[in-house]
Amino acid sequence: MKFGKEYAAQMVPEWQEAYMNYDKLKTLLKQIHRMKQRNKQTAKQASLKRAVTLYRAFSGLLVQRQKSQKNPRSLSKKDVEGQFILVNPVNRDGTESFETTFLKLAEEGGESEQEFFRMLDNEFNKVDKFYRFKVQEVIAEAETLSQQMDALLAFRIKVNKMPRVLVSTPPVPGESKRFVPTDVKEGEERNREQSDESNGELSEETINSVPQKGQGQKQSSNRGHKDVPLEILNHVKLNKNLDTPSAFIKGFVGSPQQQSEVNVRRENLKRVEKQLKHAFVEFYSKIRHLKSFSFMNVLAFSKIMKKYDKITSRKASISYMNMVDNSYIGSSDELTKLIERVEAAFIKHFSNSNRSKGMNILRPKAKRERHRTTFSLGLFVGCTFALILALIFIIHARDLLDKRGKTQYMENMFPLYSFFAFIVLHMLMYAGNIYFWRRYRVNYPFIFGFKRGTELSYRQVLLVSFGLAVLALLSVLANLDMEMDPETNDYKALTELLPLGVVVVVIVLLICPFNIIYRSSRFFFLTCIWHCICAPLYKVTLQDFFLADQLTSQVQAFRSLEFYICYYGWGDYKRRENTCKSYGIYNSFYFIVAVIPYLSRFLQCMRRLYEERDPMQGYNGLKYFATIIAISTRTAYGLYTGMTWKIVSATFSAIAALYGLYWDLVVDWGLLQRQSKNRWLRDKLLIHSKTVYFAAMVLNVLLRFAWLQTVLDLQVSFLHRESLIALVASLEIIRRGIWNFFQVGE
């Protein structure tokens, strides 16, 4: 792999702008190379026009002069290097930077080389400044972790009520060696084993220690080390950010206590240990990313200078790289020492001095795609297409489209099976999102807060989706009958219960507590579902409102679930008959299930408005409120018809669609920026092709107005009404999949 591709692959996406622009500098070197080639060609053609005798008359003198210049005794190595460039430190706005002076400006093409060094200096100063800032940032974070570690050790002593027998322990980041009770070690591992399973973001109830300087710090008279003072707990408060329903309710009704004294209980200790352990892991990852940032940029400057020497036949790389090596980014060793301290502290306090276990947590191995996943995916994909072909052939061979029971089948069985189609389609779109997020280096596991190593790859998502598709298609083929049994005048009960059986199997697998079929991801999903249902009682995190947005595109799937309950609870499923729409309670829930996802999202916006005091959350909530009204009026028109409902539903639907369209393009995607350097797009584009963005805009507009089919009551002769409803719902799922990519990726 060429260095340019490896360099781009190693970049931290969040810091991409801070890296050296290797491609731009390489492009400038190519221009210099082409110019020198033209100059050589011109010089060669001019030399052929000279008289041979005149050229030979002066050749001896020229050779003799060159030999004298190459004599190592005449010029030192330092002088040879110094005759091309001079690199001098410059103090700008109190910040040290470097400026290169090109000494061969008078030569032909010297202006281009001077421009190259000017750009090179700008890139180096940018990289060095960013690195300095980040190092100071991690040092400040290390000091905070040190204080929190002091509080944790004191907390452990208090909980375990151990005699204060002191033993030496490795230092935590930025601090000297400390002492903790020997018996604490025995209970630490037991307490932490139960907190290894952790998904999502840190709990907002964090422990902040504010010890007064000099308080409770006793020097050991024999060894000169610090003891962990229990008095430090007197300066520790538990911040309560209303992340649980009870805490939110107490805070909302006006409880003045935003902080509480530390309640010395084992449950609180486990919670604090889990949070601090997670903080150490994230902190260590940040340090390693910063270390990689330093190494890759120094290597990039070395590579680009070697290319310059090769193109120009100069020896400027030695003096320039001496400056790089002596600069802060090239000579600073704070991160190396900090990495060692963090490793020692984590291994001692969070893995019971088991280095192998501790390092596996700090440096998790890269997730590998298993061959059985790829094989199973190929098997399920093949089975899916084979079953679809079999379904088409059976319908054609039996001429089922002309049977009398076709209408009855479409009105009763099709809504049951369309539920699985909506779920599978949404999972396929999500798998596509994962594939393109990875391709364009979007750190989606970090964005969603997945536990390291548990995030699903696009192959695994495809495996689950096609597995569900095979299960649903087998059920369809098993009861594809359009005629009743002439003897019993009904359909076979066993085959008619197959759709319900598939739903039960899916629900059981989803809530299965055993470690099968991606348990960590299933529980993560169920937790987010619960938070969406209980909105606004839980603190709103990105994964929660992202999932709530997905649910707003599955309104028809929720209505299919409602139909399952009515059809198998009150309908005559053996005869494929139901009178669901004649029940007032069914019609009432037909409104409610459609509104629930939007109501959940609206309440999440209100919760964020209450906590963050951000007016944009209020405007976003207004968008969902408008959609609730539009959905309700469209549902009323579908149930009761009439010109009045048609006008009302069309008006509110148009308002909600235009509002949502503006929010998608301008607020969520950041497009339609007139002053941007990319006309009508944002300044920084994830995809280089601008056509993709404009195509996404057009598709979003078209799919946003798919509701027109409901209001205008459009019918297609060769499609049943239920098929048309499923098609429109599928278009909304596709629109949501496109929205996902730009929302998370940008």
pLDDT in tens, 520-573: 999 999 999 999 999 888 989 999 999 999 999 999 999 999 999 999 998 888
Q: Is 77 exposed, middle or buried (0-12, 13-18, 19+ CB in 10 A)?
A: exposed
What residue has token string 């110094």? 82
pTM, two decimals, is 0.77
What span, in angstroms and rounded, lies between the C-alpha atoms of 634 and 627? 10
Going by C-alpha positions, the residue among 246, 239, 301, 302 that lies closest to residue 275 is: 239
| 310 close to 189: Cβ distance less than 8 angstroms | no
Give the pLDDT band (50/70/90) at residue 229.
low
Q: Which of 204-218, 463-477, 700-714 has maximum average pLDDT? A: 463-477
Sequence ranges of the domains in the chain: 3-136+286-362, 371-745
Q: Is 17 exposed, middle or buried (0-12, 13-18, 19+ CB in 10 A)?
A: exposed
- Between strands 166-169 and 207-209, the pairing is unpaired
pLDDT digits (tens, 9 = 90+) for 3-12: 888 888 888 8
What span, in angstroms and rounded, lies between the C-alpha atoms of 284 and 378? 38
| 362 close to 277: Cβ distance less than 8 angstroms | no
pLDDT digits (tens, 9 = 90+) for 471-499: 999 999 998 887 777 777 778 888 899 99
DSSP 15: G
Sheet arrangement for strand 178-181: 166-169, 178-181, 226-227
Give the pLDDT band (50/70/90) at residue 34.
confident
What span, in angstroms and rounded, lies between the C-alpha atoms of 429 and 462? 10
| 601 close to 548: Cβ distance less than 8 angstroms | yes
- Structure-block tokens of residue 545: 């409102």
pLDDT digits (tens, 9 = 90+) for 558-570: 999 999 999 999 8
Does residue 661 have a pLDDT over 60? yes
What span, in angstroms and rounded, lies between the C-alpha atoms of 678 and 682? 6
Residue 89 has phi, psi (to 5 degrees) of -75, 140
| 463 close to 376: Cβ distance less than 8 angstroms | yes
pLDDT at 228: 55
Does residue 179 have a pLDDT over 50? no
Q: Which helix (H) or strand (E) holds 494?
A: helix 493-496
pLDDT at 44: 66
| 656 close to 629: Cβ distance less than 8 angstroms | yes
What span, in angstroms and rounded, lies between the C-alpha atoms of 20 and 39? 30
Q: What angle do CA 495, 501, 503 make, to 5 degrees?
A: 130
Residue 271 has phi, psi (to 5 degrees) of -65, -45
Neighbouring CB atoms inside 10 A of 198's CB total 18
Does residue 77 have a pLDDT over 50? no
